[in-house]
Amino acid sequence: MPIQDMKTLVALCQRRGFIFQSADIYGGMKGLYDFGPLGVELKNNIKAAWWRAMVYARDDMEGLDGAIIGHPLMFKYSGHTETFNDPLTECLDCQARMRTDKMADPSVCETCGSKNLLPPRAFNMMFKMQYGPTEGSGSEAYLRPETAQHIFTNFKNVLDTTSRKLPFGIAQMGKAYRNEIIARNFIFRVREFEQMEIEYFVMPGQDEAAHEAWLETRLAWWESIGVSRSRIKIKDVAKGDLAHYSKRTYDLEYAFPHGYDEIEGIANRTDFDLGNHTKHQAELNLTAKVTPNNHSNARLAVQIDEDPEAAAKGINGPKRWVVPFVIEPSAGVERAMLAVLCEAYTEEALEGGDSRTVLKFKPHLAPIKAAVMPLARNKPELVAKAQELKNSLQKLGLGRIMLDTSGNVGKAYRKHDEVGTPLCITVDFDSLTDQQVTVRDRDTMTQIRLPIAELNAYVRGVVEGN
C-alpha cells in the first residue's frame, strides 16, 4: 500500500538526503526546495527515463532546450499576460493570502477563521524581471511559466533544420517558474520546478485521434516508472475549466496522500499558439499579411500538397500552407518524483517482531544501483577488492554505484533498503580465494553466491529489467 502520510515521507526525504528546504539555515524559502545527493539522482533518472521513451524510442521526435528568460511579446501573444491568473483573496485581520478556487469556504480565512476578506482579484503568476543593464520600459522580460512557448517560437527553426513532416513532435525538459499564491503539499506545488513537455504537431482534423493516442502512451509510461495505473484517475476537463488555448484536456490525477491531484495534463491546443505567434509576425511586417484563411507566407506553418496522391507519384502540383494543430503532454518532474516516492514507500513486518522501511523503486530509477561493501572495514584487502568491484560496475554506465565501508553489513542492508538500492554486494574473506561475492536482493532479501566474473552482467540485467 503506497504511503498515506506525507509527513513520514518528508521526514525520510530529509533524513536520507533526497530533498531539503531551500535556504534552510536562513529560515527557508517557502515553495523552493533543494535536491540532495539521492534526490538529484532520482530526479535525473526520471528525466532520463522520460527522454529515452519519448525521444530515443520514437522516430517522430526532436529535442529542444529553450531559454528560461522569455520575451514579453511572446507571452503577450501566447495569452499569458492576460490570462495566466489565479483568483487571490486576502484576510484583512491576519493578512493571509489565499487562492479562492482552492478554499473549502471562500468566505472564511483558512488561517484565522475571519470573514473579513477582500473580494477576489486576478493575480498573474509570472515572475517579471529586469533584462539588460537599462531599467524601465523595454527592458522587462519574464521567467518562463512553461517550456511550451519556446517550442512554438522555434517551430520553423526545427522544421527547417530537420526537414520533418507532419506528424512530428518537439520535446523539452527544463525549469519553469510560477509565483504561486500558496505553495503546498511538499514538492507538489512549488514556485520553481521542472517540466517534461512535448508539443506534437498534426494536421487539423487528425488532432482528436492523436489526443487519444497520447493519452494511452503517457499512461503506459507512468506504469513503466512504477506508478500504478489503478491509482491514476483520468479527468476530462469540463469546458468551462479549460485553459484559454485548449479544445480538450485530459488531466491525469494521482492518489497522493493529500488526495487526487494532477501529475500531467494532455491538452489539445489546436493552432492557438502557432496561429497567434504567426499573426504577430505579420503585424511586425516580418512576413506578408496573414488572414484567417491565408497562411501562404506564415512563418509558423507547413506546406502540403493539394493532391497527396499525385505528389506520391512524383507529380508536382499546387501546394497550400497549413498551421498545424498541437497535442501537448506536459508533466512536472517534481510531481513525478513525488508520485514515484509515494508508490515505492513500503513498510514491512519481519520475523521476530522487527520491521523495515523499503523504497521499492524500479531499478532503473533507483538513486544507487548497487552498493558494494567489505565485510570488515579495517581489513585493507577486503576494502581494496570492494573498491575494485565498485570501479568495474561504475564503468558500465548504469548510474551510481556506491562503496559502503560502514563495516556493519546488517545496518547497511537496512539503510540501503530505505533509500531503495536494488542490490547489496558483500565482499568477504572467502571472496579473496573463491572469487565469489554475496548478492542480496532488496525486495525479497534473498542472498545468492555469485562468481565475480558474472557480477557485471548480473547487475546490468537487474538494472535494465532483464
CA distance 386 to 371: 10
CATH 3.40.50.800 occupies which residues in the chain?
A: 366-463
Of 174-183, 211-220, 394-403, minimum mean pLDDT range: 174-183
Q: What is the CATH number of domain 366-463?
A: 3.40.50.800
Res. 363: pLDDT tops 50: yes
Evaluate whether 347 touches 167 at the Cβ level (below 8 Å): no
* Weakest mean pLDDT among 32-41, 72-81, 330-339, 424-433: 72-81
Q: In the chain, where does the domain assigned CATH 3.30.930.10 lie?
A: 6-68+146-271+324-338
Fold annotation for 6-68+146-271+324-338? BirA Bifunctional Protein; domain 2 (3.30.930)
What is the structure's pLDDT at 217?
98
Whether the CA torsion 415, 418, 421, 426 is positive or negative: it is positive
pLDDT at 2 (0 to 100): 67
Extract the runs of DSSP E, i.e. beta strands, from 189-290.
192-202, 232-236, 248-256, 259-270
Q: How many angstroms separate the CA atoms of 29 and 238, rounded?
A: 35
In this prediction, residue 226 carries a pLDDT of 96
The burial class, CB within 10 Å (0-12 / 13-18 / 19+), for 186 is buried
Look at residue 129 and tell me whether its pLDDT is greater than 90. no
pLDDT at 282: 56
* pTM listed for this prediction: 0.90
pLDDT single digits (tens) 182-200: 888 899 999 999 999 999 9
Average pLDDT of the segment spanning 113-118: 92
> What is the pLDDT averaged over residues 434-460?
97
- For the chain, the average pLDDT equals 90
Question: Cβ distance 117 to 103 under 8 Å?
Answer: no
pLDDT tens string 256-298: 999 999 999 999 999 999 988 887 665 555 444 444 444 334 4
Which of helix, strand or coil describes residue 259? strand
The whole-number pLDDT of residue 403 equals 97
Tell me the C-alpha distance between 218 and 326, whole Å.
Answer: 16
Amino acid letter at 361? Answer: F
Closest CA to 338 of 249, 443, 222, 250: 222
